Amino acid sequence: MSIHPTAIIEEGAQLGAGCVIHPYAVIRRHSILGPGVVVHPFAVVGGDPQYLQFDPATVSQVRIGEGTVLREQVTVNRSIHAGRETVVGARCFLMAGSHVGHDCVLGDQVVLANNAMAAGHVEIGSHTFVGGGAGLHQFIRLGEGVMVGGLTRLTKDVAPFLLVAERDEVPGFNLVGLKRRGFSREAIRELKSCFTRVFADGDPRVPAGVMLAAGVQSPEARRFLEFFTAGKRGFARPERTSATDET
């Protein structure tokens, strides 16, 4: 473990083996850092949530997964609820100036580019990339493997494996991400079929439920369809009903 003398680590914070805490980083007492976490200068982990009705006496936490890197001036706020956690998964990369609001849950290997902002209660699936300056509205969900363009404004849920840009606009699938993760041609073909049927018309929950009941071949297609069974903010969707090969 390496801790610079000017770093601030409050009593009660928990640091795993091999953590590196750079100069002027702040680790509040509400923080739990897994092994090998790296925190760069002026980042603040476990700070109070930005919530006007919050009682600072509330006992809540932030949990950072193994091998995650927090670059300069990253902020990760603790939960507003007693006994709950804001969670950043393993091997994530939060670039300079990015923000994770209270009660967010980030999966493993999530990347937030510079100045990306996740408001409270946002869920981000594993292997998702959020571009620089993107803003994520509170309570939205991003499925696994999503690619969010820089400066995107998201107010709706984004299903797994999709590209999303501008304001809740879906150009198509994140095919580069699918191929890099080794998805088979058969799985990608089935995902495209599900994409076309789900977004053909009306509420995507209905065709998603029908396809789930009928059965699908690949676990990737099942995860894509199951995403539509939850959520309260509606879904980002394409203007056209056919999947594209854009990356």
Known catalytic residues are 102-103, 120
The phi and psi torsions of 202 (rounded to 5 degrees) equal 70, -155
β-strands 44-47, 75-77 pairing: parallel
Q: Name residue, tokens 């006992």.
A: 59
CA–CA distances in Å: residue 136 to residues 99, 170, 180, 206:
10, 15, 25, 26
Measure the CA–CA gap between 24 and 171, rounded to whole angstroms. 41
The phi and psi torsions of 177 (rounded to 5 degrees) equal -60, -40
* Helix spans in 75-226 (H): 175-180, 185-198, 205-214, 219-226
Task: Select from 102, 24, 36 the least CA-distant residue to 68.
Answer: 36
